[in-house]
Each structure stands twice: as structure tokens, then as C-alpha cells.
A and B are shown apart, each in its own frame.
Chain A
């Protein structure tokens, strides 16, 4: 499987994603520079965390108009796998590939901490190696991760089981205290209607080896590979 990691001026999560995919998962991976228009035949696009174009105006608002994003949007609309992490999630909402928006954390602080997430949906390319309601631990580092969305959209996200991850406590309870940024309904990650685009604020690439404090992030990337290989066999 070949992964492509989009790099904008200001992306800082790209190297960690590259390391996780190449060194830990032993998969093929390439960088996709923002000014290019060629996706180089990748099977999955990862939009990493950071401050694309300085996050001026709103996070992701300028990045979404970059040359590479035109291709990424077309790729996603054709069913291509896209994973947006942190700033990548913000970019995907600005690009209209995912609903809602990420606004300033309700704490008004930059939250840099570990979070527990409950896997609400395992029938996805991103979480198929997780068990139902599994609790995973992944770090966050962001100031604008409060997920908001129109009431009707929120209802359909819930009804269609498109909320893939929710912030929870260590026991898996969904509580206000375990919600680090004020996101509606403790939403930590959502998937699009077609089920090929996932956005989340947590950083799986930062927990792929025990020395980093956890390996739960690896499950997400391994799920993608599993899904891809399953598809190839089908």
C-alpha cells in the first residue's frame, strides 16, 4: 500500500506520519508538496497536523485552495481514502469533505495532553482492527479543536453512526470532564457519508511505539493497510 502525506508550509506532523508508516508499518510512503498537482498514484492521502499557511484567517481556510488540495478533493469524491489529523481535520471541514467546523477550544487554552477515545464504529477502513467500544489512548495538541455542526447535521451524524471516535474517560464513560475542547457530543472523529474520509483531532502518529508512551495509534494505520489488502483480495 502506498501512502501520500500532504506537506504545506507550516505542516509539522508530516515527518512523524512518514516515520510511523515507513519505519513502523513498513509501507511505501511519499510526501505530496502543496504546490504540486500530482498524487503520485497513492492509495491513501494523509493530511497531517500543523499550521498550514500559518492557519491565518481560520485553520485550513487557505490550505484548502492549494493546488494539491484540488486533487485531494477529487480523489476523496471518487472514494479515495483520506485521513485528516488535527490541522488535517480542520482542512477537510474547510474543504467541505467533512461537515462542521473546528473552533477555539472552550477552555481557550492550547490543550496538549493524552486523551482517551472510545471507538464507536469499527466498520470503517480506519478502525476495522479495533473492537466495538474499545478505549484507545492518543495525544492531542491543539487550540482549535472544538467540533461544532448544525443541529440537523449532528442528528444525521448520530443516526448514520458516522461519529467514529468520542472523547471518554479511562473507563470509557463519555463525560464532560473527558472532553478536552468542548466538542459537541464529545465528538473526536467523524467519517463522511461514503465512509472513505476520516477526520480526527488526536494524533495517532505520535503513539505508534511503546517508547512514545503508547501504541494505540498504530491500530489506525494498520486498519488502513488491512482494509486495503482485503480490498485487493476481493
Chain B
């Protein structure tokens, strides 16, 4: 069994109005050192399988087909083996 942690964020070229709003809010709280905030999605996917590489390829396919929109988003996948 594997747990895949998928992180989806807007591409750098896409303006992120939510991130900007949070950035402003942090600044108004006094955190002047904050340079940038990007918002995204975090998903944890539990899947059956024996081979880590195979599972990783599968999750990446899920990302490109459904979980992320390649027009506007980038994704990162991290896999760890978990006890059943």
C-alpha cells in the first residue's frame, strides 16, 4: 500500500488572487518579511500496489487527467509506503 501526497499549485505565470490576499493579510499583521504567498491544494491518496514506480506513474497519470489542470496548474507527487 502506498500513500501519495499530491500538491497542486497555480503555475508561476498564473496570477493567484487568493495568495495575494493572504499575503496582504500577513503583511497587515506585521510580517513584513513575507515575499510571496501561493495557494494550492493538498491531497492524500491511498492506493494498493507493490511497485513504487508503478504507483507513482499511476498517480501522475491521475494528476494529468483529473486532479490538476495542466493549463493553469503544476503538480508534485510524493509517495511513501504504508502498512496495510
Contacts and interface: CB of A to CB of B under 8 A. Distances in A.
Given A57-B66, A61-B66, A65-B66, A100 B71 contact: yes
Residue from A58, A93, A106, A151 whose CB has the most chain B CB atoms within 10 Å = A58
Contact of A108 (B13, B14, B17, B71): B17
A146 B69 CA distance: 15
Residue from A99, A100, A104, A106 whose CB has the most chain B CB atoms within 10 Å = A104
Contacts of A182: 15, 17
B21 interface: yes
B72 interface: yes
Contacts of B71: 93, 99-101, 148-150
B14 A103 contact: yes
Interface residues of B, number: 12
B73 to A, nearest CB: 9
Contact of B17 (A57, A99, A106): A106
Interface string B1-42: 000000000100111011001000000000000000000000
A148 B14 contact: yes
Contacts of A61: 66, 69
Q: Main SS of the interface on chain A?
A: loop
A58 B14 CA distance: 15
B17 A94 contact: no
B79 interface: no
Interface in B39-84: 66-67, 69, 71-72
Nearest to A184: B15
A108 B18 contact: yes
B67 A57 contact: yes
A106 B15 contact: yes
A128 interface: no
A105 interface: yes
B69 A94 contact: yes
Nearest to A150: B71
Given A57-B66, A182-B15, A103 B72 contact: yes
13 contacts: A57-B66, A61-B69, A99-B71, A101-B72, A103-B14, A104-B17, A106-B15, A106-B17, A107-B17, A108-B17, A108-B21, A148-B72, A151-B13
Interface of B: 10, 13-15, 17-18, 21, 66-67, 69, 71-72
